[in-house]
Structure 1
């Protein structure tokens, strides 16, 4: 009987149903191994299945379907831009912004540095652990070599073949083949061991000590790794177990689903109800996700549930910042999750704290947003409002703006701290007018300063109307950077600041006059270079009259308690749009929504300047003003003009012709110009009417016969002027 050939041996082990087609019985099915190999190789080629090493033979696979030999490779997906789609940035923000690039690189460098340092310190401990496990590793290495030489993996197959051998020749052939295999593998192991031993002897006998130590270390490491426990670790974790789960799409969906906001409740049953517009990406000191909420849900609703959202994401409240994207639609949510609460992050130093000057005609840095990006404001041509509950940084924010403006030597500061504190005291070194307190003397001084500022605004209007008419430096009829630098014109910027404005506007004696003067300055002052900033706790109609607040272009909303107050500060509908200062925590001091500087409000953490640093910066600002000859007013030792509290009303009565009950505006304009040419030269009836409008006095008509002809002109009633001066609320009639 002839010895079986290779095909016969293969048939005895595997079986075959046709030449060249290998099959294997698997339960009730038959697996085509040749087709499976081809499919596996094709899958590996297209990246669907990763090779794990070793031959396919012997792997346990499921019964192949009827078309196992056919493998379809899906065509590559081509995504085309549709109408309405907004293209994603080619270069992300964190690569285009130096500050964000530094923040991102610093984040990953810190993590890598911590990991390297942690393990470097523990290298001796790791070495001891490896050395302790190396004997076990050596034993395992010997066992592996023995099993390979003895072909232990084929024991069951050999037993089956020997048991079913049909003739002694077949039995002997199998035994002979195994012995030959064992001899070949034994020779390989003995040769390898001998070569390793010879190499080790050479190293130990002639190699330098460093090489010997390195070789011994490699051997110990290799054997120690082979000897470690299956569930054991040689190295320690460089960080404790994560206190928060990884931020992924699933976690965000779960967090939104439990908010109880309208259609968001459907997310639990249908995760596809939320669509992620872009992948979750690293952005500054945290991660950003842009997503579309289900129909009916808005970003404002999610922002109102910020604390619940933070709970769902298992993050501190100060890390979670949801906001809307009005440029897209009301259901677009931009979710930013920081690495640490914004209030706990390291304060960013004020860039101008040590050196440099400012220019109010250009953006001035005042803080950073939640992503670490610089936030700036442009003070010129703008008035502003700052509002917050007590102890949230309202006065500090006002001081920061004043300090920044003080670093522009041209800016004339008028500072009134009606709270009577000392937070704004460093500004006294540079302020043209500084006063703290709310007693009757302080209120009288405030009124005198306000009247002087109103008169200055009128003077500036005249300069623009006459001296600067047609001047190429003043193409739009307003103060420019070049004009402000010309001392001869006296058109330098003026910044007026009032803290706790409710005290002045609710004053029983002078509140009405304060309201009218400030309203007129806020309305007409910006083009002349006059800026007004008002700070209060709740900017309602009494604290800041609506006629004033509606003309303030910049708004800072630190923590407030209700959405009504939020919209009083930021503007109507801001709370609904997701820009809500009610969600700030008590710890979020100095953090605010800033509206008016860009298209949408932004979160800003103001640069923190304490009192000593503010005093140091003010000293530097004073030196700059002295060097340029711009130190004026009380800072220069001049006495304030507190005694002259007169207004145009007082000036009208001073030049009023006798006891005439009603006088033409033309005649009054001529009389004012003759009495005070510095203020009223060139005035006409229109100027008089405009100047009296803030005081609630409207001109009527007066007919007179001149040279036999009836002449009808605008005229002012004397009783109205007297009533306005005395505070009498009698009805004014034309």
Structure 2
């Protein structure tokens, strides 16, 4: 066995070995310790040898060898930090120090000047501040004038006293007195002569000045306006009043800053953190704690103050963010003003605390950049609104899908409209919009839509389903087109701006926007198929240039199919009332992780949590575009599309071209495809046989692998067009009974007879 290097031999271990009848050798290391004789363990125990190690013994001898059954084991003591020390020795600490310093290097351009918007906000805040100070002092000018008049007698006395002392050369009096006390007659006489000369000069100068002022006043009096003497008197009195002030009673009051621009200081931040009840923070702030380090000065950042600090070891910024309400209480600020978040480019313990001047819902809405002019590109982030600091927020819709959820009247449709208006300003985008609430909030976009529906009647919902079917068929076509394009033209196997601009390829972006999607997904007849197609679009559409945006005011498992909720990439959640709804929109465990749209109040209209928009979830407020402004933007989008020849579908006055099964021939086709000798058939069997009969009409139906989803298009078409409802049909498959929905032959033949 190997024994580590010790200053003293392990006697107990040697005794144990001796008791077992084995020889043990205790080696004394050259540390000045005396060798120790191990007493025999018993009468038959062999003697234990004690060996001195010379001071100049080599390392191997010093470490020792222990013979155990003829096997020699050698050991070496190795420092845990050996490799670290070697690395530092080779590279040098200065490089590591520079690398660490670079991480915390402060930006060359201050945060409040990095963008035009932030610079404008900073300038506005400075202007507001000094405007407040100026207005405060201006309103108190009469009071200050009265104070000056009241102090003028004291000022006159001080002025006369100072003038008399100056003329009499009072400052030289201590020198003359000191010379007289020393008995220095010569020095005293010199000082006296100098004083007499100085007094005569100053008296003459004073008299001359007074004479000049008096003569000037007499000469100017006849030509001076009536207000001239009053101005002169006012100037004299205010000057004397300023000269007669007291140091402990300032003439001008300090302008009291309004509450909305009160500076955030470190004491307030530390006090608030200490009130959160987090043990490690309390320990760090305690008498023997290490404290909390501010990594940068607290500075002005947009319409608020920014503090950046390192939390104690083991405390994350998200732990503080989860206690935002308690933090706001500790800061004595409105909850809508306090926004803690993690610094994503640093470690999880770096906290950025931003405290706004006003609650987010009280701040003036930021103007939308595309409101009056400009175009957009769906391949670039679309301007949406601002975050809690007033920084612009843009959303990249291309290659993504969006889910929006909220309770009614919280700004969900307004936020959706902003994004749809931005997309409309890209002439390449084909819009298919269905506003299933029926209030006309999106009606101004009809003039630029390829397909449009409004309301929640069955014809509108059916039209939405048929449009989804057409988009699904377009998915298949686009996949085939992209797969056959040369690698140099389509290297990433996805739609690019260059490919989208080529009309011959038909790869322009398609955006399907469905407001109040629960009306479609919960429909007994159309909901299941619509949900299945929506899931396919979400999974396959982004790379093929097809985008799905759905919004609902009832975010639950029925309103949002599971496949849609679990696969969507972009999520926005306005106020909701419960944890389930919160996680349904923002994703599983979002509530647990601190993303709680339940904390929004009814006044927080237009404010939402956004996931997927940035590296970390953010809180943003949509730009406010009212109805008349939305009409103007839609008109401008129409003009752009007309100029580029991109008006199609409903916008061009055409009937929507949808992938609807031909009603006149469907019954005949079903009868023609009926299995020979069968009196009843499953819907899935009929779909496969219809696809063989007319691949161009029914081929897309047969490509669905799930049996239930494959049957849905045919069963829905038969029910909506002919009132034929299927029934359960039992078949014996591989010795097992299997139930699926289908139809019997008599029902089909009777329907044909009634039609004819």
In the alignment, which residue of structure 2 is the partner of 1:521? 537
Q: Distance in 2 between matches of 1:611 and 1:248?
A: 43
Matches within 5 A, 1:551-570: 551-570=567-586
Q: CA deviation at 1:193?
A: 4.3
Specify the SS of the correspondent of 2:572. strand
CA deviations over 1:171-224 (Å, ceiling 9, x no partner)? 999999999999798668746744653564476467897999988766444321
The residue that corresponds to 1:536 in the other structure is 552
Alignment correspondent of 1:417: 435
Aligned to 1:52: none
Q: Does 1:445 align with 2:457?
A: no
Q: 1:631 aligns with which of 647, 655, 661?
A: 647
Q: 1:585 aligns with which of 596, 601, 614?
A: 601
Q: Paired residue for 2:705, among 661, 669, 693?
A: 693
Describe the shift of the 1:599–1:725 C-alpha distance in structure 2 as closer, same or farther (beyond 3 A).
Answer: farther
Which residue is equivalent to 2:500?
484
Residue matched to 1:227: 244
Check 1:697–1:129 CA distance in 2 against 1; reply closer, same or farther (3 A cut): closer
Task: Note closer, same or farther for the CA distance 1:526–1:660 as it changes in structure 2 (3 Å cut).
Answer: farther
Partner of 1:311: 329
User: Is the Cα–Cα contact under 8 Å of residues 408 and 553 in structure 2 kept in the other structure?
Assistant: yes
Relative contact order higher in (CA < 8 Å, ≥ 6 apart)? 1
Verify: 1:548 aligned to 2:560, yes or no: no
Provide the C-alpha distance between the structure 2 equivalents of 1:447 and 1:678, rounded to a whole number of angstroms: 17
- 2:126 aligned partner: 108
The 2-side partners of 1:189 and 1:251 are apart by 59
Give 1:532 deviation, angstroms: 0.4
**Structure-2 residue corresponding to 1:602:** 618
The 1:224–1:487 alpha-carbon spacing in structure 2 relative to 1, beyond 3 Å, is same
1:504 aligns with 2:520: yes
Aligned mates of 2:377, 2:573 — CA distance in 1: 24
For residues 221-259 of structure 1, the C-alpha deviation after alignment (integer angstroms, 9 at most, x for no partner) is: 432112234454433555566578541000111112122
Larger CA deviation: 653-662 vs 114-123: 653-662
- Give the TM-score normalised by structure 2: 0.70
Aligned equivalent of 2:472, options 454, 457, 467: 454
355, 361, 368: which one pairs with 2:379? 361
Structural RMSD (CA) = 4.6
Mapping 1:707-718, distance limit 5 Å:
none
Contiguous gaps of at least 5 residues in structure 1 = 1-78, 681-686, 700-717
The number of residue pairs the alignment matches comes to 620
Post-superposition Cα deviations, 1:521-579, rounded to whole Å, max 9, x if no partner, equal 11111222111011124544332233222322211122234455444433445555554
Q: How much does 1:288 deviate?
A: 0.8
Residue of structure 1 equivalent to 2:634: 618
Q: What secondary structure does 2:504 align onto?
A: helix
Q: 1:281 maps to which residue?
A: 299
User: C-alpha offsets along residues 376-418 of structure 1, whole Å, 9 cap, x if unaligned?
Assistant: 1122111101122222111111111111111122222222223
Answer yes or no: is 1:322 the counterpart of 2:340: yes
Separation in structure 2 between the aligned mates of residue 652 and residue 289 of structure 1, nearest angstrom: 72
Give the alignment of 1:186-201 within 5 angstroms: 190=203, 193-194=206-207, 197-198=210-211, 200-201=213-214
1:397 and 1:197, CA in 2 relative to 1: closer, same or farther beyond 3 A? Answer: same
Q: In structure 2, what is the Cα distance between the partners aligned to 1:169 and 1:336?
A: 71
1:497 and 1:193, CA in 2 relative to 1: closer, same or farther beyond 3 A? Answer: same
- 8 Å CA contact retained: 2:467, 2:659: no
2:270 corresponds, among 240, 247, 253, to 253
Alignment of 1:615-694 (within 5 A): 615-640=631-656, 644=660, 656=673, 658-659=675-676, 672=691, 675-677=694-696, 691-693=703-705
TM-superposed deviation, 1:599? 1.5
1:16 is matched with which residue?
none
Establish whether residue 138 from structure 1 lines up as the match of residue 151 from structure 2: no
Going from structure 1 to structure 2, the CA distance change for 1:409 and 1:658 (only over 3 Å counts) comes to same
Which secondary structure state, in structure 1, belongs to the residue aligned with residue 342 of structure 2? strand
Q: Would the alpha carbon gap of residues 283 and 242 (structure 1) be closer, same or farther in structure 2, given more than 3 Å must change?
A: closer
Alpha-carbon contact 1:516-1:695 (below 8 Å) kept: no
Distance 1:123 1:293 in 2: 48
Q: Which moved more, 1:243-252 or 1:377-386?
A: 243-252
SS of the residue corresponding to residue 251 of structure 2 reads coil
- In the alignment, is the contact (CA less than 8 A) between 2:444 and 2:630 conserved in 1? yes
CA distance in 2: counterparts of 1:729 and 1:91, whole angstroms = 74
Q: Is the 8 A contact 2:701 2:710 kept in 1?
A: no
In the TM superposition, 1:19-98 aligns within 5 A as 81=98, 83=100, 85-98=103-116
Structure number with greater Rg is 2
Question: C-alpha distance in 1, partners of 2:106/2:592?
Answer: 27
Kept in 2: contact 1:299–1:577 (CA 8 A)? no
Task: Specify the SS of the correspondent of 1:459.
Answer: helix
Provide the residue aligned with 1:28 in structure 2. Answer: none
How far residue 336 of structure 1 moved from its aligned partner, in angstroms, is: 0.7
Deviations along 1:116-169, whole A, 9 cap, x unmatched?
A: 45545765664454344322211123345567899999999999x99xx9xx98
Asked if the contact 1:244/1:315 (under 8 Å) is kept, the reply is no
Structure 1 residues 244 and 604: CA distance shift in structure 2, 3 A:
closer
Distance (Å, rounded) in 2 between the aligned partners of 1:556 and 1:727: 41
Instruction: Work out which of the residue numbers 357, 360, 368 in structure 2 matches 1:350.
Output: 368
Is residue 520–residue 694 contact of structure 1 (8 Å, CA) maintained in 2? no
CA separation of 1:489/1:240 partners in 2, compared to 1, >3 Å: closer, same or farther? closer
Contact 2:317 2:340 in 1 (8 A): yes
- Tell me by how many angstroms 1:360 deviates: 0.7
Deviation at 1:726, TM superposition (A): 4.6
The answer as to whether partners of 1:306 and 1:583 remain within 8 angstroms in 2 is no
The structural deviation recorded for 1:448 is: 2.0
CA–CA separation in structure 2 for the residues paired with 1:89 and 1:292: 18
Shift of 1:642: 7.1
1:14-62 CA-to-partner distances (Å, cap 9, x unmatched) read: xxxxxxxxxxxxxxxxxxxxxxxxxxxxxxxxxxxxxxxxxxxxxxxxx
Task: Please give the alpha-carbon distance, in whole angstroms, between the structure 2 residues aligned to 1:727 and 1:540.
Answer: 29
- Secondary structure of the 1:250 match is helix
Contact 2:404 2:571 in 1 (8 A): yes
TM-score (norm 1): 0.72
Within 2, Cα distance between the matches of 1:688 and 1:623? Answer: 39
Aligned residue in 2 for 1:10? none
> Where do residues 110-125 of structure 1 align in structure 2 (5 Å cutoff)?
110-116=128-134, 119=137
Aligned to 1:51: none
CA distance in 1, matches of 2:141, 2:204: 34
Residue ranges of structure 2 left out of the alignment (5+ in a row): 1-95, 731-737, 741-756
SS in structure 2 at match of 1:344: coil
CA distance in 2: counterparts of 1:593 and 1:148, whole angstroms: 74
Measured in 2, the distance between the counterparts of 1:324 and 1:243 equals 25
> Would the alpha carbon gap of residues 190 and 214 (structure 1) be closer, same or farther in structure 2, given more than 3 Å must change?
farther
State the match for 1:386 in structure 2: 404
DSSP-derived class of the 1:543 partner? coil
8 Å Cα contact 1:406-1:430 kept in structure 2: yes
Is the contact made by 1:388 and 1:560 (CA closer than 8 Å) also made in structure 2? Answer: yes
Counterpart of 2:28? Answer: none
